[in-house]
Copies of this chain bind each other. A is one copy, B any other.
Amino acid sequence: MIRAGIIGATGYTGLELVRLIKRHPAVQLIFATSDSQSGQSLKRVFPSAPELTLISPDQAPLHEVDVVFLCLPHAASASMAQTVLNAGVRVIDLSADFRLRDEKVYQAWYEVPHPAPQLLKEAVYGLTEIFRKELRGARLVANPGCYPTSALLALQPALKAELFNGPIIIDAKSGVSGAGRKPSLTTHYVEVAGNLSPYNIGRVHRHLPEMEQAFSWWSSSPPTLIFSPHLIPAPRGLLSTIYIQLRSGWDERRVHELYQDIYPDEAFIEVLPAGQAATYAHVNYSNRCVIGITVAADTIILTSAIDNLLKGASGQALQNMNVIFELEETYGLL
């Protein structure tokens, strides 16, 4: 039995983790913390949550657990990670703090010095299907962002095959839970319902350097990324529509051959038959990533869908936990 703790349990990713862990037959939830609502039942925060009393983070019995999930804002997360590791406990961090390997890039995008640069080298980027080997036994996992998860699982084959010509364009669409639970005008029901908003489009969203970092791992001459997220009037779900110009020598048949065999035995990834497109309905409330491939006039259009709170956050975090502790990878996630 693996004993787990959650630090920061009152956001959407925290709640999903509580639910997943409660249902996981081989994991026991030892504690869940909240800064502002310690002492209360999680039920007060979410009517659908299981019975569970939130404790203050500084009361967390770190020595009683094997792994801690961090669901904190960036910067806060990295400091806490060091504390948890010092207690000899593994860390799966759902914040952005350990995703970028270069602390200068981190500082440029997050506008604070990295709070624990000494840990950057050790952190494993938890895109499970691609870094499974590195994840086994890892002490510190950087759980990927929701947009990067959806885009990179679809793009990795294309990048490794270097089939692109010019920039790669990701037009992404996310449900509102991706914006977090803190009330704001942006997430007000009346402002969102019936609306659709591009935001941080071009080269300004913080998930851009995370994706370009992976591009540089997989391609010798990595493409420029144009990234346009859109807020969708739906509670959850994330779809990336990705446009790649084919370099000469590539055609529709070769593209489909490339993708056909790329994830043959993955329980959570499905590549659709040629011409079908991925939708939220393929993946919501599951840990799956579904990928569609269309080729038209020397352009590949990839559609890649995930549930932003599951494969895009808490589901993948639990999948990574399964890998770290060498459990069946799908355990508690089907």
For A204, give the chain B residue with the smallest CB separation: B296
A173 at interface by CB-CB < 8 Å: yes
Q: Give the residues from 187 to 225 in chain A that come closer than 8 angstroms, CB to CB, to chain B.
A: 187-199, 201-204, 224
Q: Is the beta-carbon distance between A196 and B241 smaller than 8 angstroms?
A: no
Q: Name which residue of chain B comes closest to A234, CB basis.
A: B194
B23, B189, B203, B243: the one within 8 Å of A187 (CB): B189
Interface size class of A (residues with CB under 8 A): 35 or more
* Complex Cα gap A46–B286 (Å): 14
* Residue in B196, B243, B280, B284 whose CB lies within 8 Å of A237: B196
A62 within 8 A of partner (CB): no
Q: Pick 12 A–B contacts, CB within 8 A, sort by A.
A: A48-B284, A166-B166, A183-B188, A187-B188, A187-B190, A188-B188, A189-B193, A197-B280, A198-B239, A201-B296, A203-B296, A233-B234
Q: Is the CB of B226 within 8 A of A296?
A: yes
Judge whether B190 and A181 touch: CB under 8 Å: yes
Contacting residues, chain B, for A280 (C-beta < 8 A):
194-197
Q: Which residues of A261-309 are within 8 A (CB) of B?
A: 277-286, 290, 292, 294-299, 301, 303
Q: Is the interface of A mostly helix, strand, loop or mixed?
A: mixed
A191 touches B294 (CB 8 A): no
What 1/0 flags go to A232-273 for Cβ under 8 Å of B? 111111010101010000000000000000000000000000
Question: Which of B195, B277, B285 sits near A281, CB closer than 8 Å?
Answer: B195
A317 interface residue (CB < 8 Å to B): no
Q: Which residue of B193, B277, B283, B284 is within 8 Å of A197 (Cβ)? A: B277
Most-contacted residue by chain B among A48, A167, A239 (CB, 10 A): A48
**Is the C-beta of A176 less than 8 angstroms from some C-beta in chain B?**
yes
Select which of B193, B233, B279, B297 is within 8 A of A203 by beta carbon: B297
A114 within 8 A of B: no
Q: Is there an interface contact between A303 and B198, defined as CB atoms closer than 8 Å?
A: yes
Taken together as a complex, chains A and B put the C-alpha atoms of A201 and B242 apart, in Å, by 12
Which residues of A, 163-186, contact B by the 8 Å Cβ criterion?
166-167, 169, 171, 173, 175-177, 181, 183-185
